[in-house]
């Protein structure tokens, strides 16, 4: 068994365990501890307790001493320096054209290290900024790029519920939140309704997700065909917390649907989640498919594709040739099936016109090109 004590820094952050070195501490006491960033002032979040050696990974850093009046006064001076350092860092970042917003500045109690936290949508090359800060404060400088959730946790604020942010009050870690949680809880999927001040999905969606997931396992889906004490019907609505479903009976109308406890119904056919109830025949304007008039459709001439870009005269010549072929002579009336159907390529040679070069917009186009001249130099007839 090993004795440990839980220490927390900077408000409602994570709790870290230290070796109390034989001292007895109570929750809320201020202590001075040794950290990787130097000497820090912390607050006891968990009093002395013994844990099994298998559950911990030694060694632990030590608690140096309980915080005295000099330590508290020194910490207050450091807080004032941090506010000035934050403004200076933001000023130098703007002067160098860096797209970043400085959120906080933290300086260790012994003054050996300063940590600046900032947010940015892109990666930032802050090497020149670090040189400016080192020349100003003559200490070790560290810059950390954090996300929008960490920003909300550091700055704090009031949520849409009217209470302070959960992350700045009691949440120690950020749990993953998905849109499926809002769907399971039948919440509005509008981003303005389920997003927090940080722009991400609200952390409180995670609180009741486990209970909703267990209720959904034993709840029939929408559109399921069920049997009740009043007859068979279809589920049109579900109340998870009340453990009730609204059933539209086959003999009733939409306004006479009733709620039944889930334990009092029998599922005949399971439906699909988020499916709409089927429309009944008596609700349609025409209950019989044969009584309903067929919709009128306007006939349109069949569109034909031309094999080339010939003129309208060539099209008329092809149509005339087709009409003559479709009306055989009286003496050959019995042999009409043997007459081949002419195509555009079988049109009389004298009715064809030479294909113009260039196509639409080319040399032979009427709007801009010149007509080709014969080899003899005489104008074309």
Given this model, what pLDDT does residue 55 score? 78
Q: Mean pLDDT, to the nearest integer, of 161-190?
A: 88
Separation CA 224–CA 240 (nearest Å): 15
Q: How many CA atoms lie within 13 A of 81 on its CB side?
A: 17
Architecture in CATH of 219-278: Roll (2.30)
CA–CA separation, 244 vs 171, rounded Å? 34
CA torsion 216→217→219→223, rounded to 10°? 90
Cβ–Cβ < 8 Å for 212, 180? no
Q: What confidence score (pLDDT) does residue 231 get? A: 86
**Strand runs (DSSP E) across the chain, as ranges?**
2-8, 15-18, 30-35, 38-51, 63-66, 101-107, 113-119, 140-145, 225-228, 231-239, 244-249, 258-261, 266-269
Q: What is the pLDDT of residues 251-305, one digit of tens each?
A: 766 667 888 999 888 888 887 654 443 333 333 332 333 333 444 444 454 444 4
What does the pLDDT read at residue 201? 92
> What is the helix (H) or strand (E) element at residue 127, kind and residue range?
helix 127-137
Average pLDDT over residues 125-134: 92
| Stretch among 62-71, 141-150, 177-186, 288-297 having the lowest mean pLDDT | 288-297
Task: Indicate if the pLDDT at residue 188 is higher than 90.
Answer: no
Distances (CA, A) of 253 to 94, 98, 233, 283: 67, 65, 11, 9
Reply yes or no on whether the pLDDT at 189 is more than 60: yes
Number of Cβ within a 10 Å radius of residue 347: 19
* Domain edges within the chain: 2-67, 76-146, 162-217, 219-278
Say whether pLDDT at 84 is over 70. yes
Name the token pair of 310: 């010939």
Q: How many Å apart are CA 292 and CA 278, to the nearest integer?
A: 20
Q: Would you state the pLDDT for residue 111?
A: 83
**Range ranked top by mean pLDDT from 194-203, 289-298, 352-361:** 194-203
Q: What is the pTM of this model?
A: 0.59
Q: 127-137 and 69-95 are packed helices; what angle lies between their axes, rounded to 10 degrees?
A: 140
CATH superfamily of 76-146: K homology (KH) domain (3.30.300.20)
């Amino acid at each position: 068994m090993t004795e440990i004590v839980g220490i927390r820094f900077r408000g409602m952050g994570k709790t870290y365990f230290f070796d109390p070195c034989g001292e007895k501490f109570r929750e809320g006491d201020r202590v001075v501890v040794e950290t990787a960033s130097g000497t820090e002032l912390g607050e006891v979040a968990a009093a002395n307790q013994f844990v099994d050696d298998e559950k911990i990974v030694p060694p632990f850093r030590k608690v140096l001493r309980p915080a005295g009046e000099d330590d508290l006064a020194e910490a207050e001076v450091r807080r004032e320096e941090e506010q000035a350092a934050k403004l200076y860092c933001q000023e130098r970042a703007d002067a160098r054209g860096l797209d970043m917003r400085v959120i906080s500045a933290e300086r260790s109690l012994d003054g050996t290290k300063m940590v600046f936290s900032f947010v940015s949508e892109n990666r930032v090359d802050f090497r020149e900024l670090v040189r400016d800060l080192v020349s100003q404060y003559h200490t070790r400088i560290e810059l950390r790029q954090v996300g929008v959730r960490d920003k909300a946790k550091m700055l704090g604020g009031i949520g849409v519920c009217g209470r302070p942010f959960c992350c700045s009050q009691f949440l120690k870690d950020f749990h993953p939140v998905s849109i499926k949680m809002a769907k399971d809880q039948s919440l509005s999927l509008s981003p303005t309704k389920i997003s927090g001040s940080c722009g991400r999905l609200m952390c409180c969606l995670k609180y009741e997700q486990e209970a909703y997931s267990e209720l959904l396992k034993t709840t029939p889906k929408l559109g399921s065909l069920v049997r009740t004490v009043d007859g068979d019907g279809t589920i049109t609505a579900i109340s998870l917390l009340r453990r009730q479903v609204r059933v539209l009976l086959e003999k009733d109308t939409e306004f006479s649907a009733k709620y039944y406890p889930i334990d009092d119904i029998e599922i005949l056919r399971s439906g699909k989640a988020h499916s709409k109830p089927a429309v009944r025949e008596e609700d349609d304007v025409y209950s019989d498919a044969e009584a309903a008039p067929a919709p009128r459709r306007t006939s349109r001439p069949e569109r034909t594709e031309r094999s080339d870009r010939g003129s309208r005269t060539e099209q008329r010549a092809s149509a005339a040739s087709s009409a003559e072929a479709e009306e055989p002579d009286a003496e050959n009336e019995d042999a009409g099936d043997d007459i081949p159907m002419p195509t555009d390529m079988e049109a009389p040679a004298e009715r064809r016109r030479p294909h113009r070069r260039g196509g639409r917009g080319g040399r032979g186009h009427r709007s801009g090109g010149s007509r080709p001249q014969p080899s003899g130099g005489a104008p074309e007839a």
